[in-house]
Amino acid sequence: MREYVLTAAVVAAVAYVFTPVARRIALSIGAFTEVRERDVHVIPTPRLGGLAMYAGVAAGLLVASRLPTLQRIFTTSEARGVLMGGGLLVLLGAVDDKWSLDALTKLAGQVLAAGVMVLQGLQLLYLPVPRYGTLVLTPEVGVPATVLLVVLTVNAVNFIDGLDGLAAGVVAIAALAYFTYSYELSVVHHLDRATPPTLITAVLAGACIGFLPHNFNPARVFMGDSGSMLLGLMLAAATVSLTGQLDASAVTSFELGPALLPLLLPLGLLAIPVVDLLLAVVRRTRAGRSPFSPDKAHLHHRLLEIGHSQRRAVVIMYFWTALLAGAAVAIALTGGPALVLSIGGAVAVVLLVASRLPALLAARRH
């Protein structure tokens, strides 16, 4: 645990120190987020925060490669795949932060970054299916499935990057939950296959935590697409590294839940951004618009509409993410969904009432 904590601390420190540098670069080249009708910020804000987070990721992986326990991770090319694919998306995102690329160009870059990860060995190899065991995926199926997962996760994170500190905090919570699960497998149960995703999620959490003090409301800098796409790719990489390359029968042998749970775990961790993404696609296509066309009807926008401040809306989203992520991990580790779901349901009711409280009070005043 100490080496993971040290690595995450290095990532957080480097990201924290380099974020003002990235802000100055954004100011010098004019990489601003202009105020648009759908935005909630009121002044142009510099972007390129992803540069600082990527610097932290690179520094953390360098430190980890020198630590005795974590050195064995670098005998495979998974860390290199994250660095190469992430670097490509950070570069693409930085260009978009400055010149605003079209959606198809960014999609092509995301597919390319996913392909780079596949070439480095990060590919879905297994698919746990209830009653049928674990399916072995051929490259003809595994490669496009991996690319699809990466693109979906990248855009899910990008879609929730609409309030100060929202994406960084939600991803940090998801990464910490995923770290808990993979650490249990790799350290407690000595499952070496779970070691790379444990490191990836520790690094990811550190990058978010280091950047968040500069990004929480009122934000002095935005992560931009250079940051949101990096976070999405790293979450997808952890999912592929654990869920897609770990035979589910090895997990169930430790009585850590049914075979489907390793597949459902990422969905629980990413439930908030994925639901927001799917709702946006349905909403826009039903209106006859492109699914990539922006609007002001995301989940966080709705929280603002019913009377929450930016900070309160962000904290509510944090709690929802923690509830779903914590429940997913608890079910996976204990195999006791009934107790976890009942406790989670009670907490959900409290959060639901709290999220609707401003609207209820406003209705009573009228």
CB distance 115 to 156 below 8 Å? no
Give the tokens for residue 272.
């908030």
DSSP string, 215-251: HSSSPSS--HHHHHHHHHHHHHHHHHHHTTTS-HHHH
Measured CA to CA, the distance from residue 235 to residue 155 in angstroms comes to: 12
The pLDDT of residue 222 is 94
Give the tokens for residue 233.
């790719």
The pLDDT of residue 364 is 44
Local structure of residue 199 (DSSP, 8 states): H
Q: Which helix (H) or strand (E) holds 135?
A: strand 133-136
Find, among 153, 325, 167, the residue nearest to 233 by Cα: 153
The pLDDT of residue 269 is 58
CB distance 354 to 306 below 8 Å? no
Measured CA to CA, the distance from residue 50 to residue 55 in angstroms comes to: 8
Q: Which helix (H) or strand (E) holds 299?
A: helix 299-305
CB distance 117 to 82 below 8 Å? yes
N-terminal to C-terminal alpha carbon distance within the chain: 55
Measured CA to CA, the distance from residue 230 to residue 204 in angstroms comes to: 9
Measured CA to CA, the distance from residue 148 to residue 264 in angstroms comes to: 16
Number of CB atoms found within 10 A of residue 33's CB: 19
Query: CA 217, 223, 227, 228 torsion: positive or negative?
Result: positive
Considering its fold, how many domains does the chain have in total?
1
Query: CA 119, 152, 326, 224 torsion: positive or negative?
Result: positive
CB distance 187 to 5 below 8 Å? no
The pLDDT of residue 293 is 66
pLDDT in tens, the chain (366 residues): 899 999 999 999 999 999 999 999 999 998 887 665 555 555 788 999 999 999 999 999 999 999 998 988 898 888 999 999 999 999 999 999 999 899 899 999 999 999 999 999 899 887 766 566 667 888 899 999 999 999 988 988 887 787 889 899 989 998 998 898 888 888 877 878 889 999 999 999 999 999 999 999 889 999 999 999 999 999 999 988 887 666 655 555 444 444 445 555 556 656 666 677 777 778 778 877 777 666 666 666 676 666 667 788 888 888 878 877 777 777 766 655 544 454 455 455 444 544 454 444 444 444
C-alpha distances (whole Å) from 264 to each of 1, 239, 255, 261 are 25, 10, 16, 5
Range of the structural domain that residue 252 is part of: 2-365
Number of CB atoms found within 10 A of residue 11's CB: 30
The pLDDT of residue 247 is 60
